[in-house]
């Protein structure tokens, strides 16, 4: 009887997992066809745009802009980071009532 044992690993093929609540500048730079923040989110984290009970509010450098449609007005070239905040995180940062559906927090240069 001959037994052959082998062990294979593809750990070299693995990319570090990306946080589900953050789109980094490095990731944005890899999205050459994205013209604005809406494109970035729809390519990188489409789940952020799916309607839940309430849709997220959009904040730009800490200032409330409005709803998801405002993402189309933010040029991808100026974005440093996008971050999805839960309603409780949004309340801690921006006060109670801020982002009842969460917040897409956009940081620009």
Q: Cα–Cα distance between 67 and 51 in angstroms, integer?
A: 12
- What's residue 3's pLDDT? 56
Using DSSP, state whether 50 is helix, strand or coil: coil
Mean pLDDT by 10 residues, the chain (109 residues): 55 68 97 97 95 88 96 98 96 88 96
Maximum CA extent, the chain: 72
Q: Which residues of 49-75 are buried (b: 16+ CB within 10 A; e: fewer)?
A: eeeeeebbbbbbeeeebeebebbeebe
Determine the pLDDT at residue 14: 60
pLDDT of 6 reads 52
Domains of the chain: 21-108 (2.170.130.10)
**What was the pLDDT predicted at 5?**
55
């Amino acid at each position: 009887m001959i037994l052959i044992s082998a062990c294979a690993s593809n750990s070299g093929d693995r990319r570090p997992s990306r946080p589900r609540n953050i789109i980094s500048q490095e990731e944005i730079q890899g999205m050459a066809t994205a013209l604005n923040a809406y494109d970035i989110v729809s390519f990188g984290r489409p789940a952020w745009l799916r309607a839940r009970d309430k849709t997220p509010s959009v904040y730009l450098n800490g200032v409330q802009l409005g709803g998801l449609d405002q993402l189309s007005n933010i040029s991808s070239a100026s974005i440093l980071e996008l971050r999805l905040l839960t309603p409780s995180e949004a309340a801690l940062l921006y006060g109670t009532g801020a982002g009842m559906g969460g917040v897409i927090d956009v940081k620009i240069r």
